Amino acid sequence: MAAIEIKDLMRRYRGNGFAAVDHISFNVESGEIFTLLGPNGAGKTTTIKILTTLLKPTSGTAKVAGFDVDKDKDSVRKSIGIVFQEPSLDWRLTGRENLDFHARIYGIGREEREERIEEVLKLVELKDKVDVVVDKYSGGMKRRLELARGFIHNPKVLFLDEPTLGLDTHTRRRIWDYIRELNDSEGVTIVLTTHHMEEADYLCDHVGIMDRGEIIALDTPKNLKDLIGSDVVSLEMNTGSYNTGIFKKLDFITDFRKQDDFVTLKMERGDLRIPSIMEVAMREGIEIKSVNLRKPSLEDVFLHFTGRRIRE
């Protein structure tokens, strides 16, 4: 059963007529972790705002937990939790008071409220800090508290907009574990946005790669990477004017991409091909700074469909 159903959804802004979301369609199945992956400005946050009833779609339809986001906003809001990209905790209250206030808004009775607070605190490992004022929390602790607050009312769908933005690598990994545990233990459908390839690869069951308002690829991370298939060899060159097109003539190269001072080559058995590539570079006077061999990543999938790297 689909927790989210989107058909031909569009959001065009008045004035300049810019289409932030441009006729997208996809479903998210109940109980899965779904990721909208793309660079800043791709339309990810606009899509989330439509699904959480914060923005009205220009055209198309979207249903969350079976309710139309435009015609039945109250039912949608009762069915969802959300962790915004920007912090939204009350820093003057303690962790417990933040959770208690949020649970009261959703009409949870006192006994159930207290029990639920203990459950979510245990899940995000904040029981020892629950009576500390939030202003004293670290960035990672605040994010964990926001996760706890987002699902304290047992939502059917939890939206996480860039949940690890601004966090260090170690803390980001811990947040990933909490998201996974939440999905496993609560069975809640999770939809998150991110521009971190590794985050999408590690967390999600399905990923929708978004660019310029459109869904350009949609599948499991494995299937998307299998589209690339070959090993990827990246060459970083010293700045200069080189005849990099010479690499295209090598019979084992299946794909060639050049971007600034980088050349990306795809081939089978890349580990055996590097000496031949370097020999060609030396013969053509191409100055190589570094060589990197790796298996395909979601970054390569994005590059394959758009011709650019996601960080652009």
CATH of the domain at 72: 3.40.50.300
Q: Do 182 and 269 reside in the same domain of the chain?
A: no
Nearest alpha-carbon partner for 121 in 101, 95, 140: 95
Residue-wise pLDDT for 254-267, tens only, equals 888 888 888 999 88
Give the count of domains, the chain: 2
In-domain check, residue 102: no
Q: Do 256 and 219 reside in the same domain of the chain?
A: no
Q: Round to whole Å and give the CA distance between 127 and 154.
A: 19
Residue-wise pLDDT for 95-116, tens only, equals 999 999 999 999 999 999 999 9
Label the pairing between strands 59-64 and 33-37. unpaired
- Mean pLDDT value across residues 172-178: 90
- Mean pLDDT value across residues 131-135: 95
Q: What local confidence, expressed as pLDDT, does residue 128 receive?
A: 93
Whether residue 205 contacts residue 33, with contact meaning beta carbons closer than 8 Å, is answered with: yes
- Mean pLDDT value across residues 290-297: 89
Q: What local confidence, expressed as pLDDT, does residue 85 receive?
A: 85
**Last residue of some domain: 204, 224, 244?**
224
**Phi/psi of residue 244, nearest 5 degrees:** -70, -15
User: Which residue did the predictor score with more confidence, 14 or 286?
Assistant: 286
| CATH code where residue 249 lies | 3.30.70.100
Nearest alpha-carbon partner for 45 in 160, 203, 178: 160
- Mean pLDDT value across residues 162-184: 89
Q: Do 161 and 236 reside in the same domain of the chain?
A: no
In-domain check, residue 123: no
Q: Do 32 and 51 reside in the same domain of the chain?
A: yes
Q: Do 199 and 290 reside in the same domain of the chain?
A: no
Q: Do 219 and 234 reside in the same domain of the chain?
A: no
Q: Round to whole Å and give the CA distance between 136 and 82.
A: 23
Q: What local confidence, expressed as pLDDT, does residue 257 receive?
A: 87
Residue-wise pLDDT for 44-102, tens only, equals 999 999 999 999 999 999 999 999 999 999 999 999 999 988 888 999 999 999 999 99
Q: Sorting pLDDT into bands at 50, 70 and 90, what band is 312? A: low
In-domain check, residue 196: yes
Domain that holds residue 159: 2-90+148-224
In-domain check, residue 129: no
Of all residues in the chain, the percent with pLDDT exceeding 90 is 65
Name the residue with tokens 């299998």.
226
Q: Sorting pLDDT into bands at 50, 70 and 90, what band is 230? A: confident
pLDDT at position 304 over 80: yes
Q: Do 153 and 62 reside in the same domain of the chain?
A: yes
Q: Do 153 and 289 reside in the same domain of the chain?
A: no
Q: Do 265 and 219 reside in the same domain of the chain?
A: no
Q: Do 153 and 281 reside in the same domain of the chain?
A: no
Q: Do 15 and 164 reside in the same domain of the chain?
A: yes
Q: Do 177 and 202 reside in the same domain of the chain?
A: yes
